[in-house]
């Protein structure tokens, strides 16, 4: 299935903390940081840690296991040990819901 899907309500997200949700069989880490919503693949490409459990710092999320850093805006890798970035998803807010675009 593809298109926009509700991932959570805006009330479920805490600023500067991640939340893991499952959308169409994909685990996605949602973030609300500095008034913006972000959605990234939840599993770190290094060893699979949940990125929703990572710390948020300066527009990046830090893997809780080995410290790899990824940009919230696009999932780009900024510091290893991971070698690849995270898949990012388009996000929009609609009627109090966090919607992610699944393709």
Instruction: Please state the length of the chain.
Output: 103
d(CA 76, CA 63): 13
Q: What is the pLDDT of residues 42-74, one digit of tens each?
A: 999 999 999 999 999 999 999 999 999 999 999
Checking if the pLDDT of 2 tops 90, the result is: no
Of residues 90 and 1, more confidence is placed in 90
Residue-wise burial string across 18-49, b where 16 or more C-beta atoms lie within 10 A, e elsewhere: bbebebeebebbbbbbeeebbbbbbbbbbeeb
Summarised one tens digit per residue, pLDDT across range 15-36 is: 999 999 999 899 999 999 999 9
Q: Is the pLDDT score of 1 beyond 60?
A: no
pTM, 2 dp: 0.94
pLDDT digits (tens, 9 = 90+) for 39-49: 999 999 999 99
Please count the other Cβ atoms lying within 10 Å of the Cβ belonging to residue 60.
19
Pure H helices in the chain: none
What is the per-residue pLDDT for 54? 97
């Amino acid at each position: 299935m593809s298109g926009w899907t509700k991932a959570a309500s805006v009330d479920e997200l805490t600023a500067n903390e991640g939340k893991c949700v499952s959308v169409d069989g994909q685990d996605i880490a949602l973030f609300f940081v500095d008034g913006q919503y972000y959605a990234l693949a939840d599993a770190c490409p290094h060893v699979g840690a949940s990125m929703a459990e990572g710390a948020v710092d300066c527009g990046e999320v830090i893997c809780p296991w080995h410290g790899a850093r990824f940009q919230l805006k696009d999932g780009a890798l900024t510091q290893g040990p991971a070698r690849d970035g995270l898949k990012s998803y388009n996000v929009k807010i609609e009627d109090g819901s966090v919607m992610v675009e699944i393709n």
